[in-house]
């Protein structure tokens, strides 16, 4: 049983498909079906990563990578600063992100919120000290130092994360 699928093509590809189908005296849908069959026969291991890993020599694979221009420029700058190769830098960044994952957006936003809350607590403590509100000064100063230390650690983690994702 045949199924109907719809997809978009640019006009110049549509023209080429129509001309090729006419040349072989078949319909455009038949041509696309034949092309898909040939593609699948040729690339029957597309999703079979276990076979790829078994058949790879010296545990190395050749991959194609697409980057936007901004990321590419940033990576080139890093490569030039380190005097390394593009492949070495990509390998390093990929392996380090697998071993030390970068925060995802939700975690990063939670960290940002925590930093803001810590700043508020620190400001409240500072206001209490400046207004000479009766507190145990030793405990208040110790708490202020703890909050500052924690704030600095969160800030450091956020900066590290930005640098690792090339967004900083």
What's the pLDDT score for residue 90? 83
Taking only the tens of pLDDT, the chain with its 168 residues reads 677 878 788 888 888 888 888 888 888 888 888 888 777 777 655 555 555 555 555 566 677 778 888 888 888 888 888 887 888 888 887 777 676 666 666 767 777 787 787 778 778 878 877 887 777 768 777 877 887 888 788 778 777 766 655 554
What's the pLDDT score for residue 41? 74
Residues 127 and 149 in one domain: yes
Determine, yes or no, domain membership for 3: no
Determine, yes or no, domain membership for 123: yes
What's the pLDDT score for residue 117? 79
**Structural domains in the chain (count):** 3
DSSP annotation string for 14-35: HHHHHHHHHHTTS-HHHHHHHH
Residues 139 and 114 in one domain: yes
Determine, yes or no, domain membership for 145: yes
Residues 28 and 52 in one domain: yes
Determine, yes or no, domain membership for 6: no
- DSSP designation for 104: -
What's the pLDDT score for residue 168? 45
Give the separation between CA 168 and CA 158, rounded to whole angstroms.
10
What's the pLDDT score for residue 144? 76
Residue 133 CA to its chain's centroid (Å): 48
Residues 76 and 118 in one domain: no
Give the separation between CA 70 and CA 166, rounded to whole angstroms.
10
Determine, yes or no, domain membership for 2: no
Residues 117 and 153 in one domain: yes
Residues 123 and 152 in one domain: yes
What's the pLDDT score for residue 161? 67
Residues 85 and 117 in one domain: no
Domain that holds residue 82: 69-99
Residues 55 and 73 in one domain: no
Residues 41 and 87 in one domain: no
Q: Which residue has the tokens 């070495």?
A: 88
Run of H or E including 69: helix 69-82
Residues 92 and 116 in one domain: no
3-state secondary structure (DSSP) of residue 4: coil
What's the pLDDT score for residue 74? 85
Residues 159 and 109 in one domain: yes
**Residue 32 burial (10 A CB sphere; 0-12, 13-18, 19+):** middle
């Amino acid at each position: 049983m045949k199924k109907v699928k719809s997809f978009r093509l640019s006009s110049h590809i549509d023209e080429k498909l129509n001309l090729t189908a006419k040349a072989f005296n078949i319909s455009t849908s038949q041509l696309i079906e034949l092309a898909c069959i040939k593609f699948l026969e040729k690339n029957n291991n597309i999703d079979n990563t276990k076979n790829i890993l078994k058949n790879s020599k010296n545990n190395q694979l050749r991959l194609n990578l697409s980057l936007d221009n901004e990321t590419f420029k940033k990576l080139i700058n890093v490569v030039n600063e380190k005097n390394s190769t593009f492949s070495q830098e990509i390998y390093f960044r990929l392996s380090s992100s697998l071993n030390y994952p970068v925060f995802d957006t939700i975690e990063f936003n939670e960290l940002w919120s925590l930093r803001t809350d810590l700043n508020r607590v620190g400001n409240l403590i500072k206001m209490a000290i400046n207004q000479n509100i009766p507190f145990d000064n030793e405990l208040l100063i110790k708490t202020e130092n703890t909050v500052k230390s924690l704030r600095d650690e969160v800030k450091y983690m956020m900066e590290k994360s930005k640098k690792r994702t090339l967004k900083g």
